[in-house]
Amino acid sequence: MHKIRIILEDNDSAIMEESYPLPGDLDHLDEIDEAVEGFKNEALPQIEKKLLAQAQEEKADELKKTIPGP
């Protein structure tokens, strides 16, 4: 079975790794094209969601540091 593995490393060297299995034998161009298209439609939105959540969390932490406490 073939897999696509994505490794994201942030500026602090924290690593997020995900593996996405590709269906089928991938012996023909049509199978490869279909598998990559499925990967794109499934994995990329999940990756984007994680990156956006991480960026939002970092921004919220920055704002907490600038707001004076009681």
CA dihedral 18, 23, 28, 34 (to 10 degrees): -80
Q: Residue 67: its pLDDT value, please?
A: 82
| The pLDDT of residue 69 is above 70 | no
What does the DSSP 8-state code read for residue 33?
H
For the chain, domain boundaries: 2-66
Category of 30 on φ-ψ map: left (φ > 0), alpha (ψ -120 to 50) or beta: alpha
Stretch 51-67: mean pLDDT: 89
What is the structure's pLDDT at 65?
87
**Model confidence at 70: pLDDT above 80:** no
3-state helix, strand, coil in the chain (%, to 5): 55, 25, 25
In this prediction the pTM is 0.69
**Higher pLDDT pick, 29 / 11:** 29
Mean of pLDDT values over 37-64: 91
Q: Is 50 helix (H, G, I), strand (E, B) or coil?
A: helix
To the nearest 10°, the Cα dihedral for 32, 38, 41, 43? -90
